[in-house]
Structure 1
Amino acid sequence: MSVQNTDGATAAAAAAVTDTAAVTDTGAVTDTELLERFRPVFDRIAEGALDRETTRRIPLEEAGWLRDRGFGALRVPRELGGSGVTLRQLFLLLIELGAAESNLVQALRVHFRFTEDRWRERDTERGKLWLRRIGEGAIVGNASSERSGNVRGQTNTTLRKQGDKLLLNGVKYYSTGSLYSDYISVAVFQGDGERVTALVPSTAEGVQLLDDYSGFGQRTSASGTSTFTDVEVDPDAVIAFDRVFAGQVAIVQLVHLATLAGIVRRAVDETAGFVRRRRRSYSQASADLPREDPQVQQVLGRADAVAHAAAEIVLGVAAALDRASDARFDLRTAPREQRTPEAEARVRALELDAELNVYRAQTTVIDLVLRTTTEIFEVGGASALDESLHLDRHWRNARTLASHNPVIYRERQLGDYLLNGTEPLNQPSVGEAPGLAPAADDPAPALVVVS
């Protein structure tokens, strides 16, 4: 993060970032170049963070600043209008944006998942079509989750032919980022029972987007209700669900971890600024001023170490995802004689390793960040609770993100793999337990895709 401390030092300790060149099929760009390009925008976004928290103003204008700089097209190859960065570099920037405004990272999470899926097929006409749109500034939002239904089930949302039209109908909840988007990715079962993604313009007739999310954190992530009433869908904008490879879904969880790394960075920097200004102390204190108190220094020193460690963990896992993604594309596009069972096994091993690393990171980063966003209050007594500081938002936001895909299940999967070699289920969904009668107001089963 590049928010400035009161003494003019860079709060995020930017010197720790290496000038690593990212080489893709489209050229190279360094970390330094990317940070110089986006940090001014991140700083500008960070300036209004407390006001947005107070008024619950969705940062739509701020999202526009990112769009103008090509943030949504970071992974798009250069020849298709993007920057061609690696996943590691994308996550470097997501951490910094998370420090400036964590809601924006969450809002763009499905956009980057959709972009990555198209990146994997960037040699195809469909892949090129959507990557060009994203390169031109298009943002893709999410409408996957439904409130009830069978944990193994289908969707209440339907996509059916009516005459010569293909019509979408249904209600989705937790539609993160929908209000920021140009297109909405809707998870749905077609009339023949096939699970697909239907992409519809967010401004299409029959689309209604609400900001009615009621969670106590991440309040401006635009995670509300989406209603689709006879929305006409272009048949070319219907994408079937292909086989999911290990690591492919893990990217969406890693986005949450990048956001958490940004949150704890911001929490540490704001708390340090509070301590520097603080004049009140205790008779039991070891120094006259809090900033000179060894125990206060220890609290912040430990918190700073957590912020750095969380970022490094995320970047290390992102680099593993890079290797797996590159290997999968190379194998898919290799001559037939090179696509051997042995080559497939090598790629699958990379993908599985990357996915397991995400789960390991999840259990570690979440624990560290939640403890740290609680412990920062030890430095200031009741003064640190002042609502004008909004230091509580860091714990609330972290707790909200930590509740996605609960850690207890990840830890069990890791243990099962360690003991029995059982590979994690990498396409989870949630809903009502199998065998339960459907709720009266929700007569059909519903799929709630991983959040």
Structure 2
Amino acid sequence: MTLSDLHRPPTTEELLDRFRPVLAEIAAGAVERESTRTLAHDAVALLKDAGFGALRVPQEYGGAGATLPQSIRLLLELGEADSNLVQALRAHFATVEGLLASPDEVQRAKWFRRFAAGALVGNATTERGNAQGRSSTRLTARDGRYVLNGTKYYSTGSLYADWVTVQAETDDGTSVRASVPSVAPGLELLDDWDGFGQRLTASGTTRLTDVEVLPDDVVPAPRDREPSHLTPYVQLVLLVALGGVARAARRDVVAYVRARKRAFAHGVGDSPARDPLVQEVVGRVSSAVFAVEAILDAAAREVERAADRTAAGELSEADAAELDTALSEAQIGVAELVLDVTTRLFEVGGASAASESLRLDRHWRNARVLAQHNPLIYRARAVGQQRLTGDHRSTAVFVGQAAHAAPPAGAPSSPGAGAPTDQPISSTEESRA
């Protein structure tokens, strides 16, 4: 092997050969983790030890130097093993993408070396009861040091992370991101996510009480109106998690039918695997998975092109609008296909397909919860608006406290109209409202 071989970009097959044994071990424990609701700390440790979090970190910093489409392919394989982990690592991979596009070499070098050493970063972004696009969490100067105070919700992946990046505001209203070690005094991470799917994403509450932050770990928050590929990238990772669910559903339904001996008297084959109707179901499931993967491949290429233009400072507002629309179109297609797959798979068997030991229901539950992010009704409307009028990006995308309009003249007033509601808010990074 020559010196040049040591620094050439890895091929996709080399990356798959490197990580597939780890992913197989993770997949082997997925049903048990689901059954006992055991957070995937052991699985995350396997990924850290294998250098999975440094997939996109450039080789000069000790990472694998994978391309964006290669990393998406590996995340898809991880999603097949356990879709919870793709979502749990979403903030980490988004952080890496942001650094790759950043001109700040000091921050790049610091964080890339941390990631190459195995560190993972989680997020604490979403709050409740705030105005859209604002944070009540405060970064304040006190006795010559910076401290964080506030409460965050849906802090996906932070219980698995070594660092937590917190969205906060300073006293003058400047939006910043402050990163603190996950073991910092005053930082409390709770496992209280109670969704019926994606149960092991570690999407709990984060409480910050006088958590000290080093000045070097505070950076300005990105401005939402600056053209960037990052918001579409964050959406793409969610779609990859959905794609992983579809692949896992196909894998499990094939294994279930192959092992099945019992057949209905009114069936039309001498075994379930030879029953043409069962074969049709499996064929439709497999075809849908093919379509999902094709959509993800196309979306990854679009995001990669936009990432290159973002890094070069060449991404225009029109480019960003088209990318956002393309990812919305991809979301609609992927979500609807995967939800169909995870429902259709039960048609291949009788009551035994509902066995708790199989946990086939987890595929639908996981898909349903993933599809709740950035609800399809809004995405479809936004696509229609962009295609018809071209002004999709005229409004920044935030989830937050609703602005209550006055009721029509003569309409009865509702009790408490205009009063604050305890609904979650978030930026485009983590929309679980």
Q: Which amino acid aligns with 1:401?
A: L
- Superposed, 1:296-445 pairs within 5 Å as 296-330=278-312, 332=313, 344=314, 347-424=316-393, 428-435=397-404, 436-439=418-421
Relative to structure 1, is the Cα distance of residues 426 and 127 closer, same or farther in structure 2, using a 3 angstrom cutoff?
farther
Instruction: Decide which of 101, 104, 107 is 1:120's aligned counterpart.
Output: 101
Q: Which amino acid aligns with 2:287?
A: A
Identity of aligned residues (%): 46
Could you tell me how far apart the structure 2 residues matched to 1:97 and 1:426 are?
34
Deviations 1:232-255 (A, max 9, x none): 111111111233324321111111
Could you tell me how far apart the structure 2 residues matched to 1:253 and 1:404 are?
9
Deviations 1:245-301 (A, max 9, x none): 243211111111101111111111111111111122222211121110111001001
Instruction: Decide which of 143, 165, 183 is 1:185's aligned counterpart.
Output: 165
Aligned: 1:166 with 2:146? yes
Contact 2:229–2:310 at 8 Å: present in 1 too?
no
> What residue number does 1:214 align with?
194
> What residue number does 1:292 align with?
274
Deviations 1:76-125 (A, max 9, x none): 11001111111111110011000001111110001111111111125622
- Superposed, 1:256-275 pairs within 5 Å as 256-275=238-257
Which stretches of structure 1, 4 residues or more, deviate above 4 A after TM superposition? 346-350
Aligned: 1:277 with 2:277? no
TM-score by length of 2: 0.90
Q: Which amino acid aligns with 2:222?
A: D
Structure 1 position 427, deviation (Å)? 5.2
Could you tell me how far apart the structure 2 residues matched to 1:326 and 1:247 are?
9
Q: Unaligned 5+ residue runs, structure 1?
A: 1-25, 333-343
The CA RMSD over aligned residues, in Å, is 1.8
Residue 83 of structure 1 aligns to a residue in which SS?
coil
Residue 390 of structure 1 aligns to a residue in which SS?
coil
Structure 1 position 425, deviation (Å)? 6.2
TM-score by length of 1: 0.87
Structure 1 position 356, deviation (Å)? 2.0
Contact 2:167–2:178 at 8 Å: present in 1 too?
yes
Relative to structure 1, is the Cα distance of residues 271 and 210 closer, same or farther in structure 2, using a 3 angstrom cutoff?
same
Residue 191 of structure 2 aligns to a residue in which SS?
coil
Count of aligned residue pairs for this structure pair? 408
Contact 1:324–1:347 at 8 Å: present in 2 too?
no
Residue 93 of structure 1 aligns to a residue in which SS?
helix
Contact 1:73–1:135 at 8 Å: present in 2 too?
yes
Contact 2:401–2:425 at 8 Å: present in 1 too?
no
> What residue number does 2:89 align with?
108
> What residue number does 2:408 align with?
none
Q: Which amino acid aligns with 2:343?
A: T
> What residue number does 1:55 align with?
36
Residue 204 of structure 2 aligns to a residue in which SS?
coil
More deviation in 353-362 or 214-223? 353-362
Q: Unaligned 5+ residue runs, structure 2?
A: 1-6, 405-417
Structure 1 position 218, deviation (Å)? 0.6
Structure 1 position 162, deviation (Å)? 1.1
